[in-house]
Structure 1
Amino acid sequence: MKVDYFEHYKRVNDLSEHGRKSHWGPFERTLGRFLPENRNANIVDIGCGAGVLLEWLLSKGYTHVRGYDCDAGQVSFCQSLKLPVEQADDSAEQLGQCRNVDLVVIKDVLEHMGKEDVARLLVAARQALAPGGRIYISVPNAAASYATYWLYNDPTHMRSYSANVLSLELAIAGFRVKHVGDDDTTAFSSPFGIIRLMLRSFFRFWRRLEAIGEYGAEGLRLPLGLNLVVVAECDVA
């Protein structure tokens, strides 16, 4: 029986206006500092899903944004919101037709793809970017406490990533890594949020000590959040 991915997506995500806008704050804290200053910059969101990121970019005044997704349900939902989204069954092929892109966002996508398809997509992104352009990638973090649960939380996930592996794949595609981190965004917006932050800080402290014990100085820098974030630029050397 064929699974309708968008029906599954709607069950586990709040796609109301309020639900979509609840992601804007986390986007600002994670992706915001990597956005181009020019509001006319050319930004492409690969695997844009329900278009939440595109809505946020448009709300910030970016005028040249577009998204691609392979799921017809997601694309239809985006188009119902008048978002600039097209269906693309082959993301690498679609991205390969783009040029002079300032920022390529590939968020929560690579974990759904095989290694060869990932390599094709990264090369296509490298070719599509303008000089000085950036790629922003978010994937499940293999070093997170709940990495195994997070990996198998979606039936279409194929793998999680370490920073070293993703950095190597980017280098092979012609990128130079500029930032490695995670997307921890727990805010102080409610008493429960404060409790979550306190608990996470407590247990993360012990995880950090364990990482230092296992990896030495590298353990100080090891991202421990659920999602690994890597930002890279075209390697012109």
Structure 2
Amino acid sequence: MDINQNAISYVQSLGIEAMVVRDIFTFFPKERFDLVITTHVLEHIPKDKLISVLRHFKEHILTPNGKIFVAVPNAQSNTGCYWRYEDFTHYTLFSAGSLIYVFKMAGFSNVEIIDKDALVGSRGLKRVFKQIFLKLYKLNFKFWNLVTNSSFHAPSPQVFSYEVKALASK
């Protein structure tokens, strides 16, 4: 489901069932879903509606054991501000901690941050080099946080990619 008819038409051309849904609060499917995937959607929803939207997914769209996968731009990334202001339709960005907070406020009991180091899909030497450079980056990051007295909330996972990915369950 999407609000964009062109996106729906494309997905339908692939043989996938899809529909336009302009108002999520009016969507009550005949059958609930085990998994809902939303990629780069939540940042387009006004803050005052975010928790209600997620709660609607939890209460009316997911099965009792259902899960929701979310990917959003990462406010903590090197390009966080870019993603916030490059797309003027973004209302907000998320850190891993703020995404967990929003899910908990919507009533989800378990939230897992996925691929914190952005290594999924990397193989062989590319993966090794990414791991090495990421360790150096983390040390540099930690050093400058010490120098400048900067910090993060302890329970907030640090994510080192342009997006935060999470899987939440009821």
Give the TM-score normalised by structure 1: 0.58
Matches within 5 A, 1:37-56: none
Secondary structure of the residue aligned to 1:144 is coil
Counterpart position of 1:214: 150
Counterpart position of 1:123: 55
- Aligned 8 A contact 1:92 1:121 in 2: yes
In the TM superposition, structure 1's runs of 4+ consecutive aligned residues that sit over 4 Å from their partners are: 193-196, 198-201, 208-213
Secondary structure of the residue aligned to 1:179 is strand
Task: Using CA pairs under 8 Å that are at least 6 residues apart, name the structure with larger relative contact order, 1 or 2.
Answer: 2
Secondary structure of the residue aligned to 2:75 is coil
The separation in 1 between residues aligned to 2:110 and 2:153, in whole angstroms, is 19
CA 1:163–1:216 in structure 2 vs 1: closer, same or farther (change >3 Å)? closer
Which of 107, 125, 133 is the aligned partner of 1:174? 107
After superposition, the CA RMSD in angstroms is 3.0
The separation in 2 between residues aligned to 1:232 and 1:199, in whole angstroms, is 30
The separation in 2 between residues aligned to 1:168 and 1:179, in whole angstroms, is 12
- Aligned 8 A contact 1:180 1:228 in 2: yes
Identity of aligned residues (%): 23
The separation in 2 between residues aligned to 1:105 and 1:210, in whole angstroms, is 36
Counterpart position of 2:98: 165
Counterpart position of 1:91: 24
**Stretches of structure 1 lacking an aligned partner (at least 5 in a row):** 1-67
The separation in 1 between residues aligned to 2:56 and 2:47, in whole angstroms, is 14
Give the TM-score normalised by structure 2: 0.77
Secondary structure of the residue aligned to 1:149 is helix
Secondary structure of the residue aligned to 1:161 is coil
Secondary structure of the residue aligned to 1:111 is helix
How many equivalent residue pairs? 164
**Stretches of structure 2 lacking an aligned partner (at least 5 in a row):** none
Counterpart position of 2:165: 229
The separation in 1 between residues aligned to 2:81 and 2:107, in whole angstroms, is 30
CA 1:200–1:168 in structure 2 vs 1: closer, same or farther (change >3 Å)? closer
- Aligned 8 A contact 2:96 2:156 in 1: no
Counterpart position of 1:132: 65
Counterpart position of 1:153: 86
Counterpart position of 1:202: 136
